[in-house]
Amino acid sequence: MKAVITAIAHHVPEGVYDNSWFAQKIDTTDEWIRTRTGITERHFAFEGGLTDIIVPAAEAALQQRGITAEDIDCIIIATVTPDRIFPSSAAILQRKIGAKNAWGFDLAGACSGFLYALVTGAKLIESGAAKKLLLIGADKMSSIIDFEDRATCVLFGDGAGAVILEPGESDDYGVMDHILRMDGNGEVHLHQKAGGSMRPPTIETVTNREHYVYQEGQAVFKAAVKGMADVSYEIMERNHMTADDVTWLVPHQANLRIIDATAERMGLSKEKVMINIDRYGNTTAGTIPICMSELYQTHSVKTGDYLVLSSFGAGYTWGSVLLRWSLEQKEQA
């Protein structure tokens, strides 16, 4: 038996910020942002915490599945922007939605967080340890980006994707295979300088703007192009698939040029690549479930379709998951 997705939904904050909003504040242009990244606009919530973005997505997923929060037995939230360092955002979400029968935890896998959590969740389902698992990929990047640093602030957005994972009826659908990788040498190129136990917050860390995303863009770009393309190709090859067998590549949305390089390596045409970076920017752990939710909402996936989900991010962490879709779109009443 494999773990299958039985509901999927997403939520982004209402506030939309286009590239010209940044151009009025810092030394950048719409043209630079679009051509270097593929981003046109993103959503930010300047009030509330991460779980305020997650709740509408989680409740929509529960409603879609036709169950209540009390039916959920485990909650995993992939994020690097939790409401607080402790308690976990999973605990806070449990209270807010009333999932009183669930245990759960947060998982810090940065941009690969959703794939790490999907594989972890699938193993809990396959072992029988969980029966109805609420799996979230979400980040409120507006809380950790330096709006004075043009090299990073234009890249990110806020958003949440919510999935319900359950045991499938056969081995033919669901999470079929995964490749997950990590290389801690990537830390130097992409991290948050202060706020953790190594460098707790002080007046100095705040004055030095050390609580924000620090990224050496070019180094990460080079590693991402190779890492994401390698695992995406490898998962296809080891499952004896060609580009014709793949219905959708669902890539992490960090940069359109990284996505293009991955698709090219797999031999996929553009029509088979899910892209929404133009509207949301990089929502870190949110990108892949938000993409899948939009595919579902637009009736673009059907039972039996093969999806390759791929990511690359801080750590470095990266990976690919081969998913065979089994969630039918309900007809609107």
43 among known catalytic residues: no
* Nearest distance from C-beta of residue 84 to ligand UT7, angstroms: 23
Quick one: DSSP state of residue 110? G
Of 178, 168, 176, 121, the closest CA to residue 326 belongs to 168
153 among known catalytic residues: no
Q: Which is nearer to ligand UT7, 82 or 109 (CB)?
A: 109
User: Would you count residue 323 as binding ligand UT7 (CB under 6 A)?
Assistant: no
111 among known catalytic residues: yes
User: Would you count residue 217 as binding ligand UT7 (CB under 6 A)?
Assistant: yes
From residue 140 to residue 179, what is the string marking binding to ligand UT7 with x (rule CB under 6 A)? ----------xx--xx------------------------
User: Would you count residue 37 as binding ligand UT7 (CB under 6 A)?
Assistant: yes
Q: Which is nearer to ligand UT7, 99 or 225 (CB)?
A: 225
Measured distance CA(15)–CA(301) in Å, rounded: 29
| Active-site residue, from 10, 43, 111, 153 | 111
Quick one: DSSP state of residue 330? P
* Nearest distance from C-beta of residue 204 to ligand UT7, angstroms: 26
Cβ-closest residue to ligand UT7? 217
User: Would you count residue 112 as binding ligand UT7 (CB under 6 A)?
Assistant: no
Measured distance CA(90)–CA(75) in Å, rounded: 6
- Find out whether 256 and 37 touch, Cβ atoms under 8 Å: yes
Considering only 54, 224, 261, 309, the residue that binds ligand UT7 (CB under 6 A) is 224
Per-residue H/E/C for 223-281: HHHHHHHHHHHHHHHHCCCCHHHCCEEEECCCCHHHHHHHHHHHCCCHHHECCCHHHHC
Q: CB neighbours of 30 closer than 8 A, spacing ≥ 6?
A: 18, 19, 20, 23, 40
Q: Scanning residues 248 to 307, which ones bind ligand UT7 (CB under 6 A)? A: 254-255, 258, 282
For residue 213, give both structure tokens.
């995303």
Size of the site for ligand UT7 (CB under 6 A): 21
Considering only 6, 19, 28, 143, the residue that binds ligand UT7 (CB under 6 A) is 28
Considering only 34, 36, 226, 265, the residue that binds ligand UT7 (CB under 6 A) is 36
Of 253, 298, 257, the closest CA to residue 278 belongs to 253
In 28-173, beta strands by DSSP E: 41-43, 74-78, 103-107, 133-140, 158-167
Q: Applying CB under 6 A, which residues contact ligand UT7? A: 28, 32-33, 36-37, 111, 150-151, 154-155, 217-218, 220-221, 224, 254-255, 258, 282, 312-313
